[in-house]
Structures are given as structure tokens and as C-alpha cells.
A and B are shown apart, each in its own frame.
Chain A
Amino acid sequence: MSNEPQEPENGGEKRTRRRGLTFLGVGAVLIGFGYLLLGGIGDNLVYYLTPSELEARGDAAYETSVRLGGVVIPESVQWDADALDLRFKVGDGTTEMEVHSKGAPPQMFRDGIEVLVEGRLASSGVFQSTNLMVKHSNEYRAPEEGQRPQDLYQDLLNTEGE
């Protein structure tokens, strides 16, 4: 605005008023944008909860998308490989929750392992999983004798080159 100093007095006033309006307009747009943004976030939040925490939410538990963390209860796993249908229970020591999932679980999935199940609690009380992850620790732990893949999958090794 190099020509500002030459502006007549009332032109400056007009300018100020217009600038005020512009600020209002920009402010309104920003507030609307922020509202949409926060609303969008609120609808898409995924909470990390344990089965106890999820149960403690009462009726609100059915509406939220959750990453349910816990341990696979031993001997609760029912896996139908042909129908790709998986049912198991997740527990945190105090509460157990039934989980239903479609699709093959990760190869590491087994009794007693820590899992993170993404999904929603259905009105039937069964947690419907859309994504099943096995939690792995970054700490290095040497596999026990007989638990190395070389030992576990001995049969496959022999068929190599077929």
C-alpha cells in the first residue's frame, strides 16, 4: 500500500471500517473452520481402554470406537479357518470381554499374548473387532529352544525346492 499517505482523510476512515469488517469476516471463517475441525476430531477419536475401563463407561461404551487392550484369555480362542471367523476373550485381570473378528489373526496370535483390538462394543455385549494387532515389545528376547521358527517350521524347510 504505497499510496496510503496520499489518501484523503475520509478514505482512511472508510479503509479502517472495511478492515474491521474484513477482520470480522476472517474471524467468522476461522471460528467456523475450527468448529468443524474439532467436531470432526470428536467424532473420530479412538480411545485406548482396557475391558474394565470400557465396562465402566456404561451405556456410552456402545457408541465409542475403542482400541481395547488386554491379554487373550487362555483357551478362549475359537478359530474357524474356513469361515475366517475368530472368537476369543480379552481380559485385564479383573474384567473379561468377548471379542468377535472376521479375518485371519496375525501369525503370532495365541493364548496369553497381549493384543490391541480396534472396533466397537456391539449391543449384544460382544466387542466387534475391525482390526486386531498383537502388541510386541521392543525388548530383545532370545527365543527359547524349540520356539525358534527354524524349529517350529522344520517340516516346511524340508519341502524347500519342491
Chain B
Amino acid sequence: MRSVLGTSLSTAALAVAVVGMIVAVLAARRSDARLWKAARWGAYTNLWILLVANLLMVQALVVRDFSLSYVAQVGSHATPLFFTIISLWAALEGSLLFWGLIVAALTALVVYIHRDSEGPLVPYALATMFGVGVFFYLLLVAPANPFAAVFPVPTDGPGPNPLLQNHPLMAVHPPILYLGYVGMMVPFAFAIGALLSGRLDDRWLHLTRRWTIFAWIFLSLGIVAGMWWSYEVLGWGGYWAWDPVENASFLPWLTATALIHSTMVQERRGMLRVWNLTLAVATFLLTILGTFLTRSGILSSVHAFAEGTVGVYFVVFMAIILVFSVMLLLGRTDRLKTTGSLDQVASRETVFFFNNVVLVAFTFTVLLGTLFPLLAEAFRGVTVSVGAPFFNQMTLPFVVALLFLMGVGPALPWGKASRKGVRDNFVQAGSAMVLVAVISVVLGLRDPYAILAFAFAAFALVTNVREYVLPVRARMQAKKENVLAALQRVMFSNPRRYGGYFAHFGVIVMAVGITASSALQTNHEQTLRPGESMQVEDFTLRFDGMWAQDQPQRFSVGATLAVSKNGRDIATMEPRLNYYPTQEDPVPTPAVRSRMTDLYVVLMAFQPDGSTATISAIVEPLVIWIWIGGVMIALGATFGLVFGRDGGYGAGGGSRDRTDRRRVTREGEDPAEPGDPSTERELISTGAKR
């Protein structure tokens, strides 16, 4: 019954998406209002269809209808209700169903918001989003049908993957990440819409800017939540291992970050048009690649490729997007002339240009490292993996370069820079950088990478703080306002700018957290008998004994440790090993005490009679800064998103010169003075042309 109903719903969604795509294209070509309305209704219909299908699946999970293949795969009578509901995204089929819901919901939302938009741009964008929908609903109908019937019906199932039911963060991490992934469909759809309609002015960027930031916020939060989850669950004290699945989420984040910055260059100076279209397409492609890597299992087991039918679908879909987008771009090069040019070396647009170069090089590096095992397998027939040291060594220069640019960019105005302001900024930021480096060395830090990272973080921090302090101080003097009032006025005078700088603070805080926790961590492992203690840094851990606990869905074995710091009792920590019936080896569940310095305790091994326990204790400073930084990034971006005005970057704040320049650019004239073009100008132009 549920099987027939569910499969019918997926099939209906597929049919609506196919018809909707055709109708939307016709609506765009004929500028027919009735067809456009029909296409919109298709989008709304699919939202309801997918919503019902998802609710049906959740209900089936809750009542444990094991006649459905997906429930039989991830459900079990022993799993608690909470984890039963979130096992909607515990495996491939269910997560694709949920994914389909997000695609449908975003499509409907975008169309609803832009329903009165004139011209063929939005109809073409809708057709593109329907096209994406067709792909996902096709997966639901054919190779990954969560509603497939099972016979004979099992009486019980294995329950979700133990790793996924071991921590409540699994309830938030996947949905947030999916929203970020699917959200990147919107800039892609509008980029394709712009190319198809031939209207290649800035309109598609204006319409999608908020969507890109919306998706970027969720992608950022999703990545940070994933780091947090692996820190709390995987039991090795780290949060990022350059695992293919982690890289898969990081790659589109890098290109989306590049897009958010280069968008501003096009808004202000009319440059980088092809580049922005390319970034929008590349970001979406990378989200699909990410889903593919995560869901096909191609990288953890290189040989699974031939077996997984889903993988083939993904490869074909990526090939279609790539060929289609490249052909469209090539066909439109004549209309993609850039109107502005890079005429000042020391200007913000130059910094944005380098920011993009660094981010894209960063993307290539991570992409190559991630896909290299596949290439090696295909061409040399060897099974290899690329070690984490490769990623750490190769990406550090990019991180430092980005921190440097983050410290240079805000100090430089668009167009021509005033020498004095810039000099002041660099003197202060440079002194802070040297000071931090010297202090680090004096305090005994010897890791050159860590010193470098701290120093450049200080450099970036000073510039971004100055961008707040200078206008606030000016306001306080001119208007006799107190600090808070002035700060509020300044921030609301240009929400996009100040939200952006706040996000920069988040990145800096995170960079410091990552550097400190990896460079300054202490690890100590010891086998203890009851009553014995071990010492790590200032912490003393006394082993008080082993215990076990039998729960319906799992069996836990734990160690009780009394923790004291400098002789003062501070906590009782109980790291454990959770045994799930479906998996032979236990899931380690570390006990974590998060303060400025985290104490991370893992039960490594024990004697069945409880006579000894081997405990690993890791002391990691500033881990908490990573999570705080992640939240700051999201807050800053949200501030700009909610309060910022479209096309208003730079309006209200900044000097008169900046505002004038923007107006000129928006009228489509070249604000640059005629004269000998500099090399950088050439670089940008040729880069943008290709």
C-alpha cells in the first residue's frame, strides 16, 4: 500500500518536472503569461507531492513498516523515536527523497518570490531547476526507490548506521548541509537562465545574490556541524581528516566563497562576467560531485563503481551539465564583453581578483588530492590514498594568502586608494603581525606554520577591526553618540559590508582555533588499574572503575574518571564504547569537556573484568573557537543578507567617491579614465573573455 502510493508520488513528481520544464521553456520563448503561470503551478505541485512523500516515509519509519525496502534497511524496533525519525537521511534512498523535497521546496520558493519578474530569465531558471528535479526524481523512481517493496516482509531491521545514531548532531548536520548544497542550484539556474535568454547584464546576479549567500550560510554551518560531529563521535580528537566526503562539502564552499566576492566586482565595476557565470556553474557541479562522492561510495571503496547504478546516473548528469554549460558559455562570448577594467593596482578589485585566484587554486588542489586515487586506479592500476600531509602542506599557503588578502582588501577602496589611509592601516596591521609572531616565539611556539598562521590572523584582524573602529569613532565625535549607538548606526548604514567584515572575524577566529588546537595539542595514552591516575598537562585523571549499561538499542561499556586540575576536582568524565547489534566493533564515544582548552578522553581498551582500562587523553586548546568562528561567519552573512539592500553594496557608507563610482558603473559606462591599461587590466580582461 505505502509502496504503491510512495512510488506513484515519485513518478508523479518526475512527470510534473518533465512537463514543467517543457512548459517553462515555452513560456520563456513565447513570453506567454498563461504558460508561465502553468509552469509555476508545476513547481508548487511538486512541493506538495514531495512533502507528502517525505511524510509518508517518516510515518512508515515510525510505525516500522518493514515491507518498504528503506525501512527494512534502516529501521529497527529497538531504535528510539528520535533516531527513527532522523533515519530519513541515514542511507542513500531516504536522503535522496529528503533531498528531492529540498529541491522542490527551493524551486517553489524561488518561483514564488520572483513570480512577477519580467522577461525570460526566471522562466528559464525555473526550467533549469525542473531539470535538476528531473534528475533527482528519476533516481527515486529507478535506481534508488525508497518505497520499493520487500517480500517476505522482515519482522525487524538492523537500525540506522551506528555512527549516525550515536549523536544528536546527526539531526541537524545533514539537513543543514543539504540546504547549502541544494541552495547552490539557484545561482546555477539563474546563470543558465541568463545564458539561455541572452540577457547577460547584471540582473541574474542581482536576483541570485541573496540566494547564493543563503546557500553559503547553510553550507558553512553544515560543514562546521560536520566537523563538530566528527570531533564528538569519531574519537581521535580531530575534526577534519581531509576525507573525501569532507572535501566534497568543502569544494563547493570554496567556489561559492569566490563567487560571493567576485559578484561585488561585477556589481561595482562590470568586470568578471564570464567568470561569475563559470563560478555559479562550477559550484553547482561541485555540489553534485560531492553528493556523488558521498553517496556512491566510489572513493572509500574504489571498486564499487561498477556495482552502484546510482553512480552512473550521477556521472551522466554531471557530464550533461558540463557540456551544456560550456556550450552555452561559448555561444555567448560575444555578449559577455566586460564594461569595466582594472586600472589601479592597489584597489579593492585587485584584491578580489587575487582572492578568486587563491580560492580557485585552493579548489583545484583539494579536488586533485580528492580525485587522485581514482586517477591512479584508472591509469596506473594501483590503489593509493593521498595522505593528510599533502593537504596540510599544500593548503597552508592558500590559507595564509587568504588571511593576508582579508587584511589588505578592506583597507583598499574601490578604484583609487588614498595613500595615507592605506599606509596607516598597513603600519598598524604589520606591527600587530610582527608582535604576535614575536610573542608566539617567546612563549615557546616553534612550529613555523603555526607562527605564520597566527601572525597573518593578527594582520587580518587589525584591518577588519579598523574598518569598524574608524567610522564608529568618527560618528561618536561628530554626532556625540555613545559607542553602541554609533556601532549600530554604522553597521546598519551598510549591512552588507559590515556583515561581511563580521564574517571575516569568524574566519579569523576559526583559523586561530584550528591552528592552536592542532599545533598545541598534547596527547597521552596510559593503561590504568582502578585507583591509579594519569597526568596530562594540568589535568589529573583518576580511574575509578568500569561499568556497563544495557539499553534496548545498544550496549555501553564505560570508564569513570575523576578529573582534577591543579589539585582541584573539576569533573567526572565517562568515556565509553557503544556496542550496536549490527556492528561487531564498538563505536567510541569520547567524553569531552569544552572550555578554553578542551579535555578529550577516549576509552581505548579494557579488560572484560574491569581490572584495567587504557585511556587516551588529549588536551586541545581553543577548539571551541572553531565552533564560535563558524557561528560568527553565519551571523555576519545573515546580517548582510537580512538587512542589506540589493545592489546596495557600498551605498550609504564609505566616501562620496565610492558612491559616485558605483552610480557610474551601474549606468553601464566605463568609470575608468582612458589611458594606458596596466598589465593587471589585461589579465582580468583576458581571463574574463575566455
Contact = CB atoms under 8 A, between A and B. Distances in A.
Interface string A27-71: 000000100110011011111100000000000000001010000
A44 B389 contact: yes
Interface stretch (B428-436, B447-455, B610-618): B610-618
Contacts, number: 140
B369 interface: yes
B533 to A, nearest CB: 14
A46 B549 contact: no
Interface in B107-121: none
Contacts of B547: 156, 159-162
Contact of A46 (B385, B557, B674): B385
Interface string A61-99: 000010100000000000001101000000000000000
B585 A107 contact: yes
Contacts of A143: 581, 584
Question: Contact residue range for chain A?
Answer: 35 or more
Interface stretch (B409-417, B632-640, B680-688): B680-688
Contact of A149 (B385, B579, B604, B679): B579
B583 interface: yes
B610 A156 contact: yes
Nearest to A47: B384
B605 A47 contact: no
Given A104-B616, A106-B585, A149-B579, A44 B390 contact: yes
Contacts of B610: 155-156, 159
B387 A156 contact: no
A23 B383 contact: no
Nearest to B368: A37
B609 interface: yes
A22 B683 contact: yes
B585 A84 contact: no
Contact of A104 (B608, B614, B683): B614
B666 interface: no
Residue from the set B158, B608, B674 with the largest chain A CB neighbour count within 10 Å: B608
Interface in A143-161: 143, 148-150, 152-153, 155-157, 159-161
B606 A107 contact: yes
Question: Contact residue range for chain B?
Answer: 35 or more
B686 A33 contact: no
A156 B608 contact: yes
Contacts of A26: 683, 687
A157 to B, nearest CB: 4
Given A47-B383, A104-B616, A1 B369 contact: no
B546 A2 contact: no
Contacts of A106: 585, 604-605
Given A136-B585, A153-B608, A159 B546 contact: yes
A46 B384 contact: yes
Contacts of A140: 158, 582
Contacts of A36: 394
Contacts of A45: 372, 376, 384-387
B8 interface: no
B670 interface: yes
Given A44-B389, A46-B385, A156-B557, A37 B683 contact: no
Contact of A41 (B339, B372, B555): B372
Contacts of A33: 361
Interface in A5-32: 15, 18-19, 22-23, 26
Nearest to A105: B605
Contact of B338 (A1, A134, A152): A1
B382 A156 contact: no
Contacts of B440: none
Given A81-B614, A107-B586, A134-B585, 9 more contacts: A15-B677, A22-B679, A41-B390, A47-B382, A67-B385, A82-B527, A103-B525, A104-B605, A159-B547
27 contacts: A2-B339, A2-B669, A3-B670, A3-B674, A37-B365, A37-B394, A40-B390, A41-B386, A41-B390, A44-B390, A45-B385, A47-B384, A48-B385, A65-B387, A81-B527, A81-B614, A84-B527, A84-B614, A104-B614, A107-B606, A140-B582, A148-B555, A156-B557, A156-B608, A157-B548, A157-B549, A157-B550
Interface of A: 1-3, 15, 18-19, 22-23, 26, 33, 36-37, 40-41, 43-48, 65, 67, 81-82, 84, 103-108, 134, 136, 140-143, 148-150, 152-153, 155-157, 159-162
7 nearest CB pairs, A to B: A44-B390, A156-B548, A104-B604, A104-B614, A108-B585, A149-B579, A48-B383
